[in-house]
Amino acid sequence: MAYSYVVTAHKPTAVNACVTGNFTSPDDLNLIIARNTRMEIYVVTPEGLRPVKEIGIYGRIAVMELFRPPGEAKDVMFLLTARYNAMILECQQDGENLEMITRAHGNVQDRIGRPSDTGIIGIIDPQCRVIGLRLYDGLFKVIPLDRENKELKAFNIRLEELQVIDVQFLHGCQTPTIILVHQDPHGRHVKTYEISLREKEFQRGPWKQDNVETEACMVIADPFGGALIIGQESITYHKGENYLAVAPPLMKQSTITCYGKVDSNGSRYLLGDMAGRLFMLLLEQEEKMDGRITVKDLKVELLGVTTLAECITYLDNGVVYVGSRLGDSQLVKLNVEADESGSYVQVMEIFTNLGPIVDMCVVDLERQGQGQLVTCSGAYKEGTLRIIRNGIGIHEHASVDLSGIKGIWPLRVGTTEYDNMLVLSFVGQTRVLMLTGEEVEETELAGFDGDKQAFYCGNVCHGQIVQVTSASIRLVSSTTQFLLAEWKPSSGKNISVVNCNTCQAVCATGSDVFYVEIYEGELRQMGKTTLDFEVACLDITPLKEGSDQADICSAGLWTEISVRVMKLPDFSMMHRELLGGEIIPRSVLTTTFEGIQYLLCALGDGSLFYFNLNSITGYLTDRKKVTLGTQPTVLRTFRSLSTTNIFACSDRPTVIYSSNHKLVFSNVNLKEVNYMCPLNSEGYPDSLALANDSTMTIGTIDEIQKLHIRTVPLGESPRRIAYQESSQTFGVISMRMDIQDSNGTTPARPSASTQALNTSSSSSTKLLSGTSSSMSEHLYGDEVEVHSLLVLDQHTFEVVHAHQLMTNEFATSLISARLGEDSNVYYIVGTALVHPEESEPKQGRILLFHYSDGKLSQVAEKEIKGAAYTLVEFNGKLLASINSTVRLFEWTSDKELRLECSQFNNVIALYLKTKGDFILVGDLMRSISLLLYKQTEGCIEEIAKDFNPNWMAAVEILDDDTFLGAENSFNLFTCQKDSAATTDEERQRLQDVGLFHLGEFVNVFKHGSLVMQHPGETSTPTQGSVLFGTVNGAIGLLTQVPQDFYNFLLEIQNKLSKVIKSVGKIENSFWRSGHTERKTEPCVGFIDGDLIESYLDLSRDKMQEVVMGLQIDDSSGMKREATVDDLVKMIEELTRIH
């Protein structure tokens, strides 16, 4: 049996709905965003959006609307998932804590009914009497809103209009009244109906209008009982006999997809279209004699360009949130005056969205054993490549070439506001750099000893500065810069180790340790002890919030290889912890994260021990060990965004921070850091100074988060990506839109393929001879898809070459591979010639390109009969899936592709993965099949297949016998080949062993991992790692677990689903059960990693509740009761795999 553990490494980022209202409290203005299965609640503040809560929903959010029941002070939310779970949610504030209360819930699915092609529509009557749902063709579902009803009950009304395009409730009607746009063979029409709640029937509505614009796609109900119908070319206003139309020419270039209401009186609306343009629609109103308000004119104005909008919502003060599915979402400000380019739109903030991830590759560019993910994200003008890595980015602002730095510290001399000096220590000298603005120059401090190496420098109490050298501790005035006092160890030996805070210092000469207090103008020795071994490192960081004084000193010792915690001032021993091994401790640090005290001790081999520290007794508990690098590590604290973090300097620099009361270790994108200090100067605010062997760098740190994402904008849609190590480039297939005009086509806008350093193109003479060219002519003004192969430099991500394919030639696949005996590495592109009159492509090409010395040259081309959906390098040959066949080509010495063999038996073979001589094929609708290539006979034959009718979205080989598939109903499944079966029939069937509803549409699977694998640290037996990218921009990870561990996790999962109450009362087992339009089956063979990891966010008593009755293996093979700490340690280790 194959058991898998699935977890989200990066949550979905595409926005599919957003609403505003007073949800968290009557005075908060909230923005609520739906990202597939997650809901994020923000409060709108003068500084911007402040996130207050993120909620996972057990379902894909299909409808999210706020409404205010009569007599209530704040809004409640109606939510409907794609699997028809409806709920009404209310937000209750309990101090800082926000609770989501499910006021009512129910499943509104029908036993029969054909789900509508235009998706689920959910609307709420403006007077909050009913909720209307259009789920199935020919039925309108009504949920009456009774205050007391805990269960949402709905009834259906038959709808004669089968093809409903859009539907809304009209305002100001005595009975709830709907208005709909529907389509029949004659065109599109508008109709209104009143809903009679007593008879549960439709009554005739106040008015109707036949034959509106043929492309009418959206209805907006205005507050005066009328409605706006938005089409492709025109906007019309209807209210019974009152009828207005406007057809602005600007509107025709694209289709309007979403709207946002600006004023509560409905006089202004924002409209967004597929090209990312933002329009303002103004309704000019006038008041009649009898007090009725009528609309007398419509005006449309183009405001500017935003991201490609999926939803628009107006917040306040001219600020608009534009949510996007195909690009980053934005917060924009609408200005009264246009800027120099004529736009009224100004982008204030950008929210990263990785979706839709169409393809990706895992590469290790820095050769550090850590994978990075490069994804093809976004579409059209929002097309980008995203480089995603685990860790934190540091942005360099200045650097100075200085070699041999042994320590750096910031100083404030004669000022209290900003750091204005940097002290650098070298062997045998101390140098001081003065910072003025962004300039750096060398200076001197009179009281400093410049001819000795400084071990520590810093500002201390009473406006003084301290410098510690091997000879003494020197106290210097910050204003006069003269020496005020000097303390030398009584033994006359040299100081070897020191640590200071603002009013205390401890230093060691060999095994003697001295404790010195700093007063105004004097240094007093307050304590001394002699330890059994020499001291390797010391720390006296104050642990109490707001206190400058430490009452605990910690030390790392030579020979014994231990950490001691001692009480000040008399150095009485509170705790001794032997670390074991031969490697000495090099750096020790005590700190407080989120109210918990920790002691960290780094050794000379790059490993780090960390403990929970009891600051009263000095005891160390919860010993844990991680490996950060391979060199000695120096620990330093710094503050970022008002939280304390630790920087571990080594050959693999790491930032240590606390999240949800657990420590997280994040890599930093620098090769090597020996020393660092925080720096907050006028020219470099909130920065870090970092030193390695040859240079000192000043830079700022990214916001501290798990994944670091870098964006390379392309301005066109990326479709496939491949990495070529030999030429240090990426190949990307991209698609741009050109506009057909009288003499050919012109690009719609500058983008990656039009701005490349070099360009080339395929001439389109050879293949067109067979087809009549009149068919492929485009009309004037048509949008034409143009496909190119882009070659990008792996370091700068600059497009060094763009090769444009022929007219109507669509690139479908791309790999980088070596073939046969040939030593060159080629980019190989598979294409299809697409003509609108053909049901599937009849012709295509396989092209081989060689990139060297900045030039891309075409080496070979092979004509094929169809579309090359996938190419794979297979034992030195080229395997291609072309329409319904799988074909193997060999690369001859004449540099030509020669067909060796083929396999037929698919509808459309979309996906191929190989391992050894096995080939896994993912079919359009016939699930997966396994083929075997027989070298001696030179043929491919099918050995087993899955007989379920799955429409495949991606496939992967997990191991020799286990295969993974993702299909279009958002499920994952695993199959196994049964080699031990007795009959042929059983051997030919791939056994279903796992099924899991992911709720995300997977586009691509890739073997690889985003984290560095440190062997020997984990006790969790996970095997392998497959990353996947989804349409909503989520990145997930799937790993294999052995059976006993699976059973243990399954037990935890079942307990957790009982303890954690889900929003909307949806069961986890229902949400994760495999679900297609035909059937629903329980989840098997998969562990829901997101649910397992949510254990770490529970309160301690809830954690205890989950652990009750759990049995765990101790190392001797006996069972014992599991404790909370056992579980926390194990799940923390599981979180480190992503």
Token pair 């129910």 in the structure block, residue = 106
Three-state DSSP state, 648 = strand
Q: What pLDDT is stored for residue 1013 in this prediction?
A: 61
Q: Identify the helix (H) or strand (E) that includes residue 41.
A: strand 38-45
In 3D space, the residue among 487, 497, 602, 598 whose CA is nearest the CA of residue 552 turns out to be: 598
For residues 1112 and 1102, the answer to whether their CB atoms sit within 8 Å is: no
Instruction: Give the whole-number percent of the chain exceeding pLDDT 70.
Output: 97
How sure is the predictor about 369, in pLDDT bands with cuts at 50, 70 and 90?
Answer: low
Residue 281 confidence (pLDDT) above 60: yes
**pLDDT tens column, 400-446:** 899 999 999 999 988 878 889 999 999 999 999 998 888 888 998 88
Q: How far apart are CA 496 and CA 969, in angstroms?
A: 66
Residue-by-residue DSSP string for 985-996: HHHTBEEEEEEE
Q: What pLDDT is stored for residue 769 in this prediction?
A: 43
**Dihedral sign from CA coordinates of 1022, 1027, 1030, 1032:** positive
**pLDDT tens column, 943-992:** 999 999 999 999 999 999 999 999 999 999 999 998 888 888 888 999 99
State the average pLDDT over residues 438-464: 90
Q: What pLDDT is stored for residue 446 in this prediction?
A: 87
Residue 620 confidence (pLDDT) above 60: yes
Structure tokens at 902: 């083929």
For residues 527 and 571, the answer to whether their CB atoms sit within 8 Å is: yes
Amino acid in position 490: S
- Neighbour count for residue 942 (Cβ, 10 Å): 17
Q: What is the dihedral of CA 859, 861, 862, 864, to 10 degrees?
A: 150
Helix axes 1124-1135 and 1100-1107, enclosed angle (nearest 10): 100
Token pair 């002290």 in the structure block, residue = 423
**pLDDT tens column, 300-335:** 999 999 999 999 999 999 999 999 999 999 999 999
Angle 208-210-212 (CA atoms, 0-180°, nearest 5)?
110
Q: How far apart are CA 1111 and CA 891, in angstroms?
A: 58
Burial tier of 487 (Cβ tally within 10 Å: 0-12, 13-18, 19+)? buried
Residue 705 confidence (pLDDT) above 70: no
State the average pLDDT over residues 200-204: 94
Token pair 């048509």 in the structure block, residue = 782
Instruction: Give the whole-number percent of the chain exceeding pLDDT 90.
Output: 68
Structure tokens at 890: 């060999």
CA atoms lying within 13 Å on the CB side of residue 912: 31
Distance of CA 226 to the CA centre of its chain: 42
Q: How far apart are CA 386 and CA 373, in angstroms?
A: 8
Length of the chain counted residue by residue: 1138
Q: Where are the alpha helices (DSSP H) in 442-519?
A: none
Residue 770 confidence (pLDDT) above 50: no
Q: How far apart are CA 684 and CA 419, in angstroms?
A: 9
In 3D space, the residue among 272, 380, 246 whose CA is nearest the CA of residue 334 turns out to be: 272
The torsion angles phi and psi of 1129, rounded to 5 degrees, stand at -65, -45
Q: How far apart are CA 552 and CA 571, in angstroms?
A: 9
Q: What pLDDT is stored for residue 1016 in this prediction?
A: 46
Query: Mind spelling out the 3-state secondary structure of 282-300?
Result: EEEEEECCCCCEEEEEEEE
Residue 1131 confidence (pLDDT) above 70: yes
State the average pLDDT over residues 129-133: 96
State the average pLDDT over residues 530-546: 89
Distance of CA 448 to the CA centre of its chain: 50
How sure is the predictor about 467, in pLDDT bands with cuts at 50, 70 and 90?
Answer: very high
- Neighbour count for residue 916 (Cβ, 10 Å): 11
Distance of CA 83 to the CA centre of its chain: 25
Q: How far apart are CA 18 and CA 848, in angstroms?
A: 46
How sure is the predictor about 778, in pLDDT bands with cuts at 50, 70 and 90?
Answer: confident
Structure tokens at 922: 């993912």
Three-state DSSP state, 784 = strand
Residue 703 confidence (pLDDT) above 80: no
Residue 336 confidence (pLDDT) above 90: yes
State the average pLDDT over residues 1037-1055: 95
Burial tier of 98 (Cβ tally within 10 Å: 0-12, 13-18, 19+)? middle
State the average pLDDT over residues 599-610: 91
Any long-range contacts for 30-35 (C-beta under 8 Å, 24+ apart)?
31/313, 31/315, 31/321, 32/64, 32/66, 32/77, 33/321, 33/323, 33/329, 34/61, 34/64, 35/11, 35/1032
Token pair 């020219």 in the structure block, residue = 683
What does DSSP say about strands 918-923 and 928-934: parallel, antiparallel, or unpaired?
antiparallel
What residues contact residue 1010 under an 8 Å CB cut-off, 6+ apart? Answer: 9, 370, 371, 372, 373, 388, 389, 390, 707, 1027, 1037, 1138
Q: What pLDDT is stored for residue 1014 in this prediction?
A: 53
Residue 819 confidence (pLDDT) above 90: yes
Residue 773 confidence (pLDDT) above 50: no
For residues 1127 and 1107, the answer to whether their CB atoms sit within 8 Å is: yes
> What secondary structure letter does DSSP report for 136?
B
Q: What pLDDT is stored for residue 772 in this prediction?
A: 41
Residue 375 confidence (pLDDT) above 80: yes
Residue 538 forms beta bridges with which residues?
555
Output the average pLDDT for the chain: 91
In 3D space, the residue among 284, 356, 268 whose CA is nearest the CA of residue 320 turns out to be: 268
Residue 730 forms beta bridges with which residues?
723, 792
The torsion angles phi and psi of 808, rounded to 5 degrees, stand at 65, 10
More confident residue, 827 or 560: 827
Q: How far apart are CA 109 and CA 83, in angstroms?
A: 8
How sure is the predictor about 185, in pLDDT bands with cuts at 50, 70 and 90?
Answer: very high
* 3-state helix vs strand vs coil in the chain, percent to 5: 5, 55, 40
For residues 809 and 762, the answer to whether their CB atoms sit within 8 Å is: yes
For residues 321 and 312, the answer to whether their CB atoms sit within 8 Å is: yes
Three-state DSSP state, 75 = coil
- The side-by-side arrangement of strands in the sheet containing 826-833 is 809-817, 826-833, 844-852, 855-864
Residue 367 confidence (pLDDT) above 90: no
Q: How far apart are CA 688 and CA 684, in angstroms?
A: 9
Q: For the chain, report the end-to-end CA distance as a whole number of angstroms.
A: 24
